[in-house]
Structure formats: C-alpha cells, structure tokens
Structure 1
C-alpha cells in the first residue's frame, strides 16, 4: 500500500508460497557396507543430520536376518533423517556379521610331561570363553601302548567349541614309564639266628607293583653247609620282576647253629683192658639217644659198651649216628687194640709171682705150687723141686701149676706126698730171656 500526503493510496498484493522441499543432510561420513566379526559391530546411533530450514531428527532401524549359526547373520541398518516438514533422507548399511574367532581357554594349560606309571596326574578340568557367546569344552584321552603294560603314551585333548563351530584345541602328551620294581608287602626278617632243629619254613611272601599285577617271583635257596659239625648259613633269595622287567631281590640269611656238636677222639686199649663206654671217646654238646655201630673189625657192642678182651689185636672203627630230629650227625672213633699189656710183664722179672707156700691138705687154699703173671706170654715153664739135701723130688718140662706135694719115690723112699718142710725150686721160663728163678717153698702135707 502506497499513500501520499493526501491519503491517496495504491495497493499491490503479492502472495509468497513458502515451502520446504529440501531433505536434511547427514553430517557424518556414511558407513559403508562391511563384514565384521560378531564382537566388532559399531554403535548404530552415531549419525546426525542438518536441515536447511529446521532441525532434523535421525531414526535408526535394524533388521537382522539369521545366518548359519547363532553368531553369524546379516544386519541391515537404515538411518532416516526427517525435518519438520517431513522431508526425509535415508542411508542403509548392510553388515555381514561373521564369527571366525575360536574360543580361548580360561585356565593355565597343562604341559607335556614324563611321569612314573603310579604318578599320572588327573586330567585338568578346562573351561573356555568365546568372544561372541558361550563355548563348550570336550575332553578326550587316548593311550598308545608301549613295550609293556605300564609303558605307554597318554594323549589328552581338550577341544573348546563355540556355537559357530570355531574351536581351540589343546593337546597334552604324557609319557608314562615304569622304572620302579615291585615292593614287598609282607614282613620279612632279613637275618635269623636259629639252631639246626628250629629252621623256619620258607615264608609265603606277598609282593605288589605300583603299576602291574603281572609279577614274576623266582625263589632260590642255598646253603654254606659243608659238614655236620660246623655252623652254616642258609641264604634265601626272592627275585621279583614286574611286567616291564624292573627287578628287585629280597634276601633272608639264616645263621644256623649246630646243636649236635661231636668231637671224636681215637683210643688205644689192651686186650686185657676191661669193658668201657665208647661215649667216653666223644665230647661236645649232642643228643645221646643215637646208635652205635661197628664200621670195621670183627667186634660186637653192647649198646655203647665195648670189651677189648673179646677181640684180637687190631684196629676197630665204630660209628655213632644221630638220625632222628632236625640235626642228624655222625662221628667215628677208632680203637686200637694191642697186646702191650702182655708183652711188658713178660719182659720184667718183677711181674713173675711164685708161691711161697703149698698146703696140700684139701682145704682148697694154696693147694698147688703156682707161677703167675706170665700166663699170656706164651712161655714154657720148666720146674724142678729139690729137698733140703739136694735131691730132686719133682720135675716138669711144661709145668701147668698143678704140683701139690707129689714126689718121686726115689726122693723119699716111696711115692706119695712129700713130708712137711722147706723145699727149693728152680724155674726156667724157656724163650723168655729171663734168668732162672730159684727160692724156697714151704710145703705142708699130712705127712
């Protein structure tokens, strides 16, 4: 409207149609389509927009299309920027979400090791984490046999798997060996001191092996005994071997004391000696219930009694045997029988005993003129008897101790007994080497 000073006016009307047809624009660089790991998806609220006329608002819409597994899918993001007049602009991003990362174990992983067969560790319990979800762990154990039962290789495998089949594997190799021999379970006295009648039976021992039930036991017993008179040792050895050839030996030594200890002593006896006990020739600590026997020589025994007078000159061997009980033994003695008891008196005139008196009166005392002490010498006795006038009244070339006063008739005028009185003898022991014996003898008769 134009008006002058007089209020004259003129009017012009213009109509302006104000419109908003321009869409907003995004402020940031628009995200392009991409392929990302499931744990690397960016935040979707990162875009803003500007409008030429007003403010603009940005909305986000996400559409997920499932893939082959839980953590693999297609994510379509659509951002829409709208101004106040509903002018819009959109941007769409397609994200291919994948899961190619394997899980990781949470615990320290067990290492390879070499162990004894009785020290194999228990399998560890392992767990795992996954970058996009959960993981399961499967354990497997495989044994590869070695040269023997207790030598083998144990392969332990833990497999951690996520929902998309990505897996992580840990393998532990345990080399199992058996280097230890079996051990003794039973009690065993390694040394024992016993007498020979108390030797213990071989004990039934029990052995065990840490890794194997296949145990071989070889038993051996030796003795150092060389005779029945000396102490000795019994050595018992058990050699024990397991399935892998590991060997151990266990030894028991028994010191055995001989309880029947006999020391034998030979002896010399004369044919005139009296009976004696053969036990007198033995000494030591022994059982006397054994048996005596003749080993050599023509002799007889009465139990342990031996009479030298029953045998001839020579050597005689006797054996004493103990056969009963746990300590049998035997001993031999030799008895030398000689005649020295005869020879010595025969060469000694002092051993010749001659009667001093003959009382031929029938009372059985001093009835005969006797010569004794040389009965076993084998001499021939030559006897002559004279009266006091020198007349020979009796003579014998082989006198047998049988003169009791008899006389020759020429000596007394007639035969018969000599009168009581003193007479004289001459005795010659032929082949004796002794001088003749002479002396008086008193004869008492009834005349």
Structure 2
C-alpha cells in the first residue's frame, strides 16, 4: 500500500492592503480552505513570504507561498500575492478653528499644527499665509494653508480662514459752531475711544482750511463742513468722519446803525412775487417795533400801523382817491419810527403801482 497522491487545498485570493495592516494577520490577508488528503488527516497548511520593494518606501509586494504536506511527504503549493500600498495622507493631531472672526489689531497667531502618518516617519509640512488686505479700510481675509505629505506623495491640505473686521475703536460726534467765534477748535475734541493722534485730518466737504487738527470757524460761509481723520496705520487703517455745522446765532447785528435798515423803494402788487409788499428789513433780530405811516401827495394819511409786519400792498383805508381797495398809481410818502431803537424816524418817497 502506497500513498503518492498529494493533498489538496484552496489558497486565499490575492489582496491589496494598506501599509498599516499586519500582513501576518490571516483574518485580514486570508487563510487556506478545503484542506483534504486521500489518506492523511488533520493537515495544516503553512506559508513562507518573499518581499519585494514597491513604488515607494512604505509599499511592497509579498509573494506568499502556501504549502500542504501529508504524512508521506506528498506536497501541494499555491501562491498568494499580497500588495501593500500607502494611499493615506498624514492627518493633524491638533484641534484648531477652521474659521475665525477677528478685529484688526487683535488677529491671533497661526496655530502650531502637529501631524502623524500611519506609515511614514518623514512628514513634509509646507505652511503659507495669504491675505486679501489691499491697504484700504475694507474688511479682509487671511488664509492660512498647511500642505502635508508623506514619503509616498499622499497629500492633504488644511486651511484656516480669519475674517478680519476693520474697527478703529474710535467714536465720532458732530457739533455746531458760530461764524462769529474767532478761535481754534480742535477736531480731536469730536473723537473718543481708542485714538492714535498720529494720523491726519482733511476737509472732505466745505470751503475752509485747517492747521493740523485746528479749525477756525470765524467768518466762514454758513453750512455743514465734513472732516475725515485717517490714522495712517498701514496694517490696520481706519477713517473717521465728523461734521461741523456753522451758524450765525452768536453774531450780534449793528442794530443801532441806520445804514443797516433797508426800506422798499416801490410796491407793485401785481402777483409776480416782486415788490408785492412795502418792507422794512435788516432789523429782524433787533427786536424793534416798526411804526409806519403812509401819506398821499396831498398829505392825507392812507395807511397806519403801530406794529407793522411788512404786509401793506397798496390797499387804501383812509382819504384815498379812485378805487376803494387800492390806492391810485403814483408816488407816496412814508414815515417810519423804529420804537426803542434810538434812531431818528425815517421818511421818504415810495412808488406804488396798482395798475
């Protein structure tokens, strides 16, 4: 009786695994099945490996030869190919914020990221920081990029974006000044908060001049003047606007000067909006009471008011000739007394056209 028949078995399929896998773990790479022999029992296959280098330091090709031998030294062999690859990039072990909101001047430093790789000891890290800042006062972004790779060229990119808001911390206010005040007003008095006095002032609206931060409102045109303060910070620039409104509330008129009193020369109440009324002006802020009398050429009084309000347009109410509601066209004479002014009465002719 002889035994010349080799045993039989089925080898595991060829397989590709990552480099961090234990290739001796048969639950991963596979084990033989269907071991059988015509005479022997309880046979157990064994294997031997031959390792060849792969395409990069962490890759290889394992030729695994499986052998099954019976009690009479009849042997059967099968070959399994195990391809070890590295397709996984390094990962960071540092927690960090992907997006950050920051105020200009309080931008956090870039974090120090640490990385690890399943197979490579040599990890290449390239860090780059770019910014959309263009030197203006507009908000901008800082983009921080870490590019990490292993010995097999597997690469991963990690990014952190910092959204930067331009905030000078300056609080601006507006004010009113009078053109009768001859003094230097310091524009910095309109600013509060985080102020760097090393910046520059400029006028952006209004015909005026400034000396550094000093503005003199004396004898300027009435209206609103706009000023801009620039902090001249190249890394964190800001512009702050303030307004000064000039009025003439403090101006004292020359109420005792007869030359300031303006009296109408003519009244033509024809609805064209010109010379519609007999007016006494130039004394509006003086507080005087106007006492008015108007006479025709014969000396008859045709109008009188002890508190005249610039509202006579040629109507008659006493000794008039012609139409009952309007005096005839012609030359008339007025006497004006400015009560409590200390001025002598004013008298003169006034032409009235009612046709």
TM-score where L is the length of structure 1: 0.42
Q: Which whole-Å CA distance do the structure 2 matches of 1:242 and 1:132 have between them?
A: 51
Which residue number in structure 2 is paired with residue 112 of structure 1? 14
- Kindly provide the CA deviation profile for residues 180-238 of structure 1, in whole angstroms up to 9, marking residues without a partner as x: 32223221211111222332211111222333233222222122223452222211122
Distance (Å, rounded) in 2 between the aligned partners of 1:129 and 1:275: 111
Give the equivalent residue in structure 1 for 2:99: 191
**1:287 matches 2:194:** yes
Offset of residue 286 of structure 1: 5.6
Q: Distance in 2 between matches of 1:328 and 1:294?
A: 14
Residue of structure 1 equivalent to 2:187: 278
Give the 3-state SS of the residue equivalent to 2:188 in structure 1: helix
**2: CA distance between counterparts of 1:298 and 1:147?**
76
Q: Which aligned pairs between 1:228-307 and structure 2 lie closer than 5 A?
A: 228-260=136-168, 273-279=182-188, 287-292=194-199, 301=212, 304-307=213-216
Q: Which residue of 1 aligns with 2:5?
A: 101
Q: Distance in 2 between matches of 1:111 and 1:197?
A: 62
3-state SS of 1:210 partner: coil
The equivalent residue for 2:231 is 321
8 Å contact from structure 1 (residues 181, 209) kept in 2: yes
CA distance in 2, matches of 1:300, 1:273: 14
Residue 419 (structure 1) aligns with? none
Q: Does 1:203 align with 2:111?
A: yes
Say yes or no: does 1:159 pair with 2:159: no
Q: Give the Cα separation in 2 of the matches to 1:318 and 1:257.
A: 20
Displacement of 1:318 after TM fit?
Answer: 8.6
- Between the aligned partners of 1:177 and 1:264, the Cα distance in structure 2 is 68
Q: Is the 8 A contact 2:200 2:232 kept in 1?
A: no
Deviations 1:121-178 (A, max 9, x none): 5443669776358867543222222221233322222223456653221221122333
Greater relative contact order (Cα < 8 A, sep 6+): 2
Structure 1 residues 183 and 293: alpha-carbon distance in aligned structure 2, compared to 1, 3 A threshold: closer
Secondary structure (helix, strand or coil) at the match of 1:197 reads: coil
Question: Offset at 1:298?
Answer: 10
Aligned residue-pair number: 244
Q: Which has the larger radius of gyration?
A: 1
Deviations 1:228-265 (A, max 9, x none): 52222211122222222222212211112222066899
Aligned to 2:132: 224
- Partner Cα distance (2:178, 2:60) in 1: 83
- Alignment pair present for 1:141 and 2:44: no
Could you tell me how far apart the structure 2 residues matched to 1:289 and 1:154 are?
70
- In 2: Cα distance, 1:264 partner to 1:175 partner: 74
Match of 1:174 among 79, 82, 94: 82
Counterpart-to-counterpart distance in 2, 1:247 and 1:183: 10
Extract unaligned runs of 5+ from structure 2.
219-226, 259-342, 345-355
Rate the CA distance shift 1:308–1:292 in 2: closer, same or farther, 3 A. Answer: farther
1:279 is paired with a residue whose SS is: helix
